[in-house]
Structure 1
Amino acid sequence: MVKLIFNQIVMWLVLFLLGISFIGVLIYKVFGLFLFAIFVFFKYKKISVLSGLKSSQHNFAVILLAAFILRLLWVFIIPTKPISDFGLMYGYAQKVAQGDYSGFHGYGYFARFAHDTVTVLYFSLFYKFSSAPLFLIKIANVLFSTFSVFLLYKVVEKIYDDRQTALVSMLLYALYLPSIMYNSQTMQENIATPFYLLSTYYFLAAVKNQTQDKWDKVKLLVFCGLGLAVGHMFRMVGYVFILAYLFYYLFYKRFQNLIIELPVIIISCLVPIIILSSLLVSSGITESQLWNSKEPYWTSILKGTNIEAHGHWNLDDAEIPELYKHDPVKITEASKQIIKDRLLNTPKLKLLGFSIIKFESEWAVPDMSAYIWTIPGAVDYFAFAKVFSKSNLILTGLASSFYLILLFMSILGLHRNKDRPVEINFFLILYLGYALFLMLIEAQARYAYMLSWIFIIFAAGGVRLKDDTVVKVYLDRSIEY
């Protein structure tokens, strides 16, 4: 009974949030609405979704190669300049390569935000091969992104036990604009995403493992934890995945699985992080542990609760650390008090409106702000980039239409497929947990990008019927439910 109630609550909460995202795109992206309306008009009662795509090694290779070529072409055509935090990480990596670790000490930027440490160290490795390694880093991004496309295929195949559906998902991810555009920017998500996908794949492999060989399952769980560790060191949201693993075990597996298997994942995740962090501190490279930034995490929550700034970065909240001389205790106390005042003294309707607007600003942005982070900085460097800078409407229209279809098929599939694989519940929990996490911290659409592949997994259910084949989806069937 408890499992059923939990399942229904999570299901309807996810559908509600997907609906807010869908409506948000329709409201703010008129051009996308136009294209979507034309799409539905021509299809009328039915939407043919890649029904001709056959499962074969040839199609698999073609899609994977196309994913690689599209990303490589983008990197060649759009020479994005590292800006903001990305520029700081890329620039400081050169000093690290020369043996200057001062930025990791005192109140240096990367001592205050220690979670960026591993990314800086990663970039510094490229300076060993070139004095200007930006293009090499972008090529690595392309390889990681293409690997993510492959991993999504493996994840969907593991969920549905069906290669054809996996190919559909693979094609959708290969064409997903943000996953193409962000390759030209030096952002942590480019490296973190495939490792989180890898962790997810091994988790699914472990929970679906029916063999009697216990060591085989242990190996899968260890690889799950190791993938999670690497992903977390680049983008520290691994605890959201751990909580999703926990709740999935709690409600969909036996309690024995929870107390035996989850600790293996957690230990496999924590050990490499603790070892690396301790080595960095003992060698004098860093002063703080990777998980112990000198600027308290409360400052991110402080910005995330700023009503007037809609939860985004703002100067008033950003000046708090300097105001209190970077004293973590005073910063934490001041931040907590301001947050408390905002939540308790803001009218409830205004707080509700703020929450909806903030959520939409994170999840109802079809390109996940990829245009903002990749195009403007490239215009001054390459004339062809100016074409894209003047074609924002076209890129926005394409991204909006694609995203609307993903959201629509996600809602349709989740609402229609009552007999969907139980593993889909893990992704429902993961999405809900991540969405709630983003509601707490400073809002940026690019933060949602790292988990945006989850919509492709949901959409896979929208192109399937009960016989587990890729088919034509009839809109009038959804009305029955």
Structure 2
Amino acid sequence: MEKFQRLFGKTLLALGFFLFLSIFIYINYIASPGFRAPVLKSLFLTGVFIGIFILCDFLFHYIEKKNTYYYIIAGAILFSGLILRLYWINSVDTIQVSDFGRMWESAGEIAKGDYSRFKENGYLYTYPHLAFTTLFYSLVYRVSSGSIYAMKIVNLILSMVSALLVYLIANEISNRKKGLAFLVMAINAPFIFFNNILDSQNLAIPLFYGCVYIYLRVFKDKLNPLYLIVCGVLLSLGNLMRSVGPIFLIAILMHMILFTDYKGLRFKKKNRGNHSMKLMCLPLLLISMYLTTFLLNYAFIWTGVFQKATWETEGNLILYINAGFNHDSNGMWNQYDYDLLRDVGYDYEKAEIEAKRRLSERLEDKDKVMNLISSKYRTQWGAGDFGGLYWSTLELRSNPKSTNDMLVWFNYHFYFIQSFYSAIVLSILYKIYRLWHQNELDKEFIFGVILFIGFVCLHTLIEMQPRYGYIAMPMITALGISGIGTSFRKEGKI
């Protein structure tokens, strides 16, 4: 088993290095001038941010050792992040478009007792995976008398919770306090821009990464394995908000099964019970996840709100995969594939047959498929804000001069955001290099790599947009933070 762990661990590190290196090259060498600075300037700015990261990590570590004002300084930085977010949502009056606007409109109707959107061929019947997010919006709508600003404040609060979770996860990966996480998360562009957008990821991220934090604590024997039941509940709630829960579930199951200390399980009597208990609790994680999903769905079905369960997507997955291989749209949303369901009179069986036919044709030219996958990967993971600036400024209610000046500055200086992201990616590359060079197996770090690879596989297949990758950004950020000032352990060599 140890030999297999060594081989599999090195394979994952090599694949992770290739994927993150591709992102780094795209940011600094390939991305259009509107996204990056000239190459030397881009690399210089990346180096500047790396230097700032290293200095701040050293200062936090020094302050922690001296036990002086650590949490006061961390709190002040988090408060600065809060002020930045407040400034953004007060300065940019975003009009919710696309699914964001439809969900908010639906929320208003639901708040008034109109559930027609859930009825056959209604918006939430056709796209049931958006149902629970819309229900949450309707609650905020009712409490705030329809104030979209209130929903932005909720996003802001959840963004700060996400910042705390990234700090805690980075601590578990690094095996020491990583106060640097407070600085990075305070000014990390997507976690500021997305507060203006009614994107379900804002609700799902704290749930999913709360699960990740608890899982890592259980894996490291810091929590009772029964906490995996809580992980299952959080996975279920996160998946009801944003249907990518299976990616997190597969990562947890794969990581636990492959990287449990079976030597300790077999020979070390002191640890035998805990290791075996963790493996025995994995079925409880599955049961708690699916039981929570089942109960919540049928509670709304029995009360007459839902007409069907949220997992009954009626072939929608193949529709997303079909759109994901549309060469003309670079695998992104396009009107031609979006209208497919409507064109067949919302007959899901016919829509599935037509989607498979189109997909079969699009997969015939292997060279075009490989070029499309490469292009999709760059577009999906190459934007430092994951499309946050675009979606939050696509349509504005008001645009006073002060706001306009700020947005013009962002558009002409987007390369600062790209270089900041580039520095995070470079930190991950350095960490992987060190692990490989020193022949170590950092199991907690590898969990993050598995999770990222899972998202890469998902968005290689389905319809792609840069904003879809936002939900992976907390893990990417935690991995990057763990690569700064890393103290490598002597145990766990591979």
TM-score exceeds 0.5 = yes
More displaced 10-residue stretch of structure 1: 226-235 or 26-35: 26-35
Aligned to 2:136: 122
Q: Distance in 2 between matches of 1:196 and 1:208?
A: 19
Shift of 1:33: 4.0
Cα RMSD of the aligned pairs, angstroms, is: 2.3
Match of 2:351 among 315, 331, 336: 331
1:181 paired residue number: 193
Stretch moving more, 245-254 or 31-40: 31-40
Q: Is the 8 A contact 1:150 1:170 kept in 2?
A: yes
What residue number does 2:242 align with? Answer: 235
What are the Cα deviations for residues 140-180 of structure 1, in whole angstroms up to 9, with x where unaligned? 111000011111111122222311xx211232122101111
Query: Which of the numbers 78, 82, 101 marks the counterpart of 2:92?
Result: 78
Write out per-residue CA displacement over residues 271-310 of structure 1, whole angstroms, 9 at most, x where no aligned residue. Answer: 2211110011111111110111346221111100112211
1:246 pairs with 2:248: no
> Contact between 1:11 and 1:428, CA under 8 Å: does it hold in 2?
yes
Structure 1 SS opposite 2:120: coil
Q: Is 1:408 matched up with 2:420?
A: no
Letter in 2 for 1:240: I
1:251 to partner: Cα distance: 1.1
CA spacing shift, 1:377–1:209, aligned 2, 3 Å:
same
How far apart, in 1, do the equivalents of 2:181 and 2:51 lie?
23
Q: Give the counterpart letter for 2:462 in structure 1.
A: I
Q: Which runs of 5+ in 1 are unaligned?
A: 469-481
Please name the residue that 1:66 is paired with: 80
Percent identical: 24
CA gap of 1:59–1:119, structure 2 versus 1, over 3 A, is same
- Does structure 1 conserve the Cα–Cα contact (< 8 Å) formed by 2:95 and 2:397? no
Q: Find 2:306's aligned residue among 253, 261, 286.
A: 286
1:380 maps onto 2:398 in alignment: yes
Match of 2:219 in 1: 207
Partner residue in 2 for 1:157: 171
Letter in 1 for 2:289: C
Indicate the residue corresponding to 1:31 in structure 2. Answer: 37
Aligned amino acid, residue 22 of structure 1: F
Residues 49 and 423 of structure 2 are in contact (CA less than 8 Å); yes or no, is this contact kept in structure 1?
A: no
Other-structure match for 1:97 = 111
Deviates more, 1:34-43 or 1:240-249: 34-43
Q: State whether structure 2 residue 387 is matched by structure 1 residue 366.
A: no
Query: Whole-Å Cα distance in 2 between the matches of residues 142 and 182 of structure 1?
Result: 9
After TM superposition, give the deviation of residue 349 of structure 1 in Å: 2.6
Cα distance, 1:47 vs. partner?
Answer: 8.2
The match for 1:426 among 447, 461, 464 is: 447
Matched position secondary structure for 1:453:
helix
> For residue 304 of structure 1, what is the amino acid of its counterpart?
G
Deviations 1:432-470 (A, max 9, x none): 0111011111110000011112222221232124367xx
Give the letter aligned to residue 30 of structure 1: R
Equivalent residue letter for 2:80: A
Distance 1:370 1:447 in 2: 10
Partner deviation per Cα, 1:207-263 (whole Å, 9 max, x = no partner): 11267xxxx321x21221122122111101000011001110221015746751221
Among 273, 279, 293, the residue aligned to 1:273: 293
Q: Distance in 2 between matches of 1:22 and 1:169?
A: 21
Q: Which residue is 1:217 aligned to?
A: 225
CA contact (8 A) 2:53 2:180 kept: no
Is residue 129–residue 242 contact of structure 2 (8 Å, CA) maintained in 1? Answer: yes
Take 1:320 and 1:73, find their aligned partners in 2: how far apart are those partners? Answer: 41
Indicate if the aligned counterparts of 2:325 and 2:369 stay in contact, CA closer than 8 A.
no
Paired with 1:121 and 1:402, the residues of 2 have a C-alpha distance of 36
2:352 is aligned with 1:340 = no
| Aligned 1:436-455 pairs, distance under 5 A | 436-455=457-476
Tell me how far apart the structure 1 counterparts of residues 52 and 204 of structure 2 sit (CA, whole Å): 38
Give the equivalent residue in structure 2 for 1:4.
6
Q: 1:323 Cα shift?
A: 2.4
Distance 2:478 2:169 in 1: 9
| TM-score (normalised: structure 1) | 0.90
**Map of 1:13 onto structure 2:** 15
Task: Please tell me whether residue 315 in structure 1 is matched to residue 317 in structure 2.
Answer: no
Counterpart CA distance in 1 for 2:470 and 2:127 is 21
Q: Give the TM-score normalised by structure 2.
A: 0.88
Contact 1:191 1:231 in 2 (8 A): yes
CA distance in 1, matches of 2:470, 2:141: 28
Q: Name the amino acid aligned to 2:211.
A: S
- For residues 298-350 of structure 1, the C-alpha deviation after alignment (integer angstroms, 9 at most, x for no partner) is 1111100112211011122122212222112221122122212222x11x332
Question: How far apart in 1 are the matches of 2:229 and 2:413?
Answer: 41
**Where does residue 476 of structure 1 map in the other structure?**
none
Q: Partners in 2 of 1:46 and 1:234 — Cα distance?
A: 36
Q: Please give the alpha-carbon distance, in whole angstroms, between the structure 1 residues aligned to 2:24 and 2:421.
A: 9
Structure 2 letter corresponding to 1:58: I
Aligned to 1:463: 484
Q: In the aligned structure 2, how far is the partner of 1:224 from the partner of 1:42?
A: 38
User: Residue 215 of structure 2 aligns to which amino acid in structure 1?
Assistant: F
Contact persistence 1:93–1:121 (CA under 8 A): yes
Letter in 2 for 1:431: F
The SS at the match of 1:116 is helix
The residue that corresponds to 2:209 in the other structure is 197
